[in-house]
Homo-oligomer: A and B are copies of this chain.
């Protein structure tokens, strides 16, 4: 299996399956881990960084979940391939930069990925489609246990797992959930809901993680604190709050349908009409329109469209995906034309 095979496979995070998948796009946990006796990646020298790479690579085979996984050195990947992996939510945007000693492990199903020598020596990530945060925790816990039999992780009885950034010390755990909240946006309740969520100690981020804006009515919500609580507590708390947001979105959708059906239908169909007809379209506009269409699919507006088609367009219209599909580097203007071509072809 190679990286290019992912092109013809749905990202786990956008698959559109699993519990509450009409509102919850995907669930993810990640664990930050560092090898005992070695400086954090930013302070380690070349030899130490190579040691970290070798150690992690050597431990891979002991993890049943990583059977058949690929190991990429970042320096061996093209710029497009790196962005491609970010677009598939398999690694962070930061991991694309100065990659001499950075690596990525990915399992063929794109459920598990491990960034090596990002901020921490290991950033283990598990993705599941839909509202499945408990399952991601179950899997990542198993992987962590298996790896810790081969690797000695930096751990303090007082502080817990030690990490490069103090906000991750303790469990090193971050659970995050990608939500599609078009009705809360449409009814202008989103600010209030997100404000309340922030007060409960959760972080809200956009489409591509930290530092990015929300687009396409997609919001990524995660725990802020990873210390002073057990992993189960963190996951339970996150799950409980998300459950409330999901209910709010759900009832907003019902209100929209009963009180504002024509305006809603109009907006959804116009989004479809524009996607089906445009000859030039940016990534941002595409995501916004696909959000409306996804809502339309969820509400049964369309007969011939399903969530998978929408998902496929979400993924394949991203810049690096487009360029890999075209087999060449494209300027932003060329991408906007190519994107429109692709969408029209798929919606024909």
Contacts and interface: CB of A to CB of B under 8 A. Distances in A.
A275 to B, nearest CB: 8
Interface in A332-348: 337, 340
A273 B278 contact: yes
Interface stretch (A86-94, A139-147, A258-266, A303-311): A258-266
Nearest to A301: B279
A55 B340 CA distance: 64
A269 interface: yes
Interface in A265-297: 265-266, 269-270, 272-280
Contact of A269 (B262, B263, B265, B277): B277
A210 B275 CA distance: 39
What bracket does the count of chain A residues touching chain B fall in? 10 to 19
Contacts of A274: 270, 273-274, 277
A266 B278 CA distance: 5
Contacts of A269: 277-279
Nearest to A277: B273
A210 B32 CA distance: 72
A262 B333 CA distance: 11
A226 to B, nearest CB: 46
Contacts of A276: 273, 277
Contacts of A265: 279
Contacts of A273: 273-278
Contact of A280 (B266, B275, B337, B340): B266
A270, A276, A280 pick with most chain B CB within 10 angstroms: A270
A262 B277 contact: no
Instruction: Name the 4 nearest CB pairs between A and B, nearest first.
Output: A273-B277, A273-B273, A266-B279, A269-B277
14 contacts: A262-B280, A263-B280, A265-B279, A266-B278, A266-B340, A269-B277, A269-B278, A270-B274, A270-B278, A272-B277, A273-B276, A273-B277, A273-B278, A274-B277
Given A266-B278, A272-B277, 20 more contacts: A262-B279, A262-B280, A262-B337, A263-B280, A265-B279, A266-B279, A266-B280, A269-B278, A269-B279, A270-B274, A270-B277, A270-B278, A270-B279, A273-B273, A273-B275, A273-B277, A273-B278, A274-B274, A274-B277, A276-B277
